[in-house]
Amino acid sequence: MKEVVDALLAAPEYTNPAIALASKLMEAETRGDKETIDRISRSVAIENAIIDGEREGNAVVNALASCGHAPPVASKTVPVGF
């Protein structure tokens, strides 16, 4: 289990490309920035974000599946909210 925690702590901070692009589009839409929306809509960034996003999603599914094999460990502290 320590290996799993160490790997999570060592992992770089990362945002799924599809989520990052969706955020940019929502911000542009909120500002009424049609030029940015059109530019992004016609770019290959959307296709790349979809491909990268699917790859990321598959990696998360695989990571979660491997976590299912880790034995449960009792916490020594009470979670916030309990």
Q: Which has the closest alpha carbon to 49: 24, 12, 13?
A: 24
Cα-to-chain-centroid distance, residue 62: 14
Structural domain containing residue 11: 2-67
Domain presence at residue 18: yes
60 pLDDT band, cuts 50/70/90, is confident
Check pLDDT > 80 for residue 51: yes
Q: What is the mean pLDDT of the chain?
A: 84
Domain presence at residue 75: no
Domain presence at residue 46: yes
- Considering its fold, how many domains does the chain have in total? 1
Q: Which of 10-24, 41-55, 67-81 has the lowest mean pLDDT?
A: 67-81
- The answer to whether the predicted template modeling score (pTM) of the entire model surpasses 0.85 is no
Check pLDDT > 90 for residue 48: no
